[in-house]
A and B are shown apart, each in its own frame.
Chain A
Amino acid sequence: MSMRARVRAGDPDAFGQLFDDYARSIQNHAFRLTGNWSTAEEVVALTFLEAWRLRTKVDPEGDSLRPWLLGIATNVARNTTRAHRRHAAAVARMPEPGVVPDFAEDLVGRIDDTRLVATVRAALGKLRRAEREVFALCVWAGLDYAAAAQALDVPVGTVRSRLSRARNKLQKLIDDGTLQTIEPIGREPADRSGQVDGDRENAARPSQEMTR
């Protein structure tokens, strides 16, 4: 029985397998959209609850279910409140958020990571939400246009045009000096002036504050 068939049939072990395979992917995607590791962890839990709820809607044909899960995670990250209400009873039983991993053993890396995250989030802030989501799915999560279209339930042309708008906006930010090319982790620390103007502190702040 294929994974898709098992998911559609509501086989709990299939969901355990999906969790093992994709929880990390979902968590990273959620972090890039929300900028907060605790929220990202919550999005992971809600995404799999949503996946269980929507299991019968899975297309019987197709390859990996990763795009499907990333699509759900995108929706959950977009509106955590709605997901909370949909799973009110389950949310009440949700484990307390874990302690955000401490990267004390690699302090420099952590600082750079925080700075990069802040800069990237500030740049992302210049994009519309729909463009941001397509960017995160296609560029960072590595989905091709067709998979991203399927994940977001929009036509492929829409994905392409949103990504194209995102590119133009980012290019414009670079061209006019607002955004200097950001050095990814592992290279020399980025030039301080490479910060996106504006409030980095604000960009680094959790974008969503959850209440229980």
Chain B
Amino acid sequence: MRFHSSRSQVDREQLAQLLPAPAERDLPESRHHVLREYLMNEIHHQTAAQRTAAPCAAGATRVVAARPRWLAPSLATTAVAALALGAAALLPTSDGTTPGHQPDRAATGQAATPFEVRHASFTLVRNADGSITFTSLQLVDTAAATQALNGAGITGRVLTNDPSCTAGPGGHGQIDPAHLYPADTLRDKHTGLDASDTVTFRSSDYPQGGGLLLAVGQHTWKGTEASTEYAVGVFAYADADNIPTCINFTDPGTGQ
């Protein structure tokens, strides 16, 4: 270890001679204060918001994902409805269980076993609590991603937008709201606040016999900050047989 760190030190010093760092600057006292205050306010703000909006505290399922932009045109209205119904979904059902609190099928027995797939186009990791975190690094290899998803104990498939896929019922890119779990909620489980290339979900997000659809979208930014981002939508299905085999969110108006 000592050898490695000293060698690393020498390497770094040699490199610093090749290209010295620009001079360091101090964050001026006033700016330090302003930014620190800002951070503390945001933390208090978020802590307060979480306290008032945590319907089920311990073990609550929270999907970090948000509505991807590319879903926006066709799903905007339904997504609003999904938000309202999504909140309702957290309330206890008639048999007293809460969907978000169902025991994890994957968590029983499998969770202890580390499971991690690192592919060029995605990573899929089973967390210690049994939940699965999926990150889209680029437009995913859907076959490999589906295999990884299933390998982690989740029924379902991973799809990307396919413009050749024929329009499905309801104009939601083959996602029929009636097939979703809970029914009639276009339950992408998104908060609508932002879009993310990383989502976390668990097997208790869908009932026995059901499954998840992970829809990976791509958004290309143009201009000075040109970049391509990926966003993953998670849809829970009551019956895995109804999970579409292709999706098409192409907006005929813009071709986006």
Contacts and interface: CB of A to CB of B under 8 A. Distances in A.
A interface secondary structure, majority: helix
B95 interface: no
Interface residues of A, number: 61
Contact of A19 (B16, B30, B39): B39
Contacts of A181: 17-18
A145 B5 CA distance: 8
A176 to B, nearest CB: 14
B interface secondary structure, majority: helix
A117 B14 CA distance: 19
A31 B47 CA distance: 30
A23 B34 CA distance: 12
B47 A81 contact: no
Contacts of A145: 4, 8
A94 to B, nearest CB: 7
Contact of A52 (B34, B46, B195): B46
A16 interface: yes
Q: Which of A12, A116, A170, A171 counts the most B-chain CB atoms under 10 A from its CB?
A: A12
Contact of B39 (A24, A49, A86): A49
Given A41-B31, A41-B35, A98-B30, A163 B15 contact: yes
A31 B195 CA distance: 26
Interface stretch (B21-29, B100-108, B147-155, B209-217): B21-29
Interface string B29-52: 011101110111111111100000
B227 interface: yes
Contacts of A10: 47
Interface of A: 10, 12, 15-16, 19-20, 23-24, 27-28, 31-32, 37, 41, 44-45, 48-49, 52, 79-82, 85-90, 93-95, 98, 101, 109, 113, 116-117, 120, 123-124, 135, 138-140, 142, 144-145, 163, 166-167, 170-171, 174, 181-185, 208-209
Interface of B: 4-5, 8-9, 11-12, 14-28, 30-32, 34-36, 38-47, 193-197, 221, 224-225, 227, 229
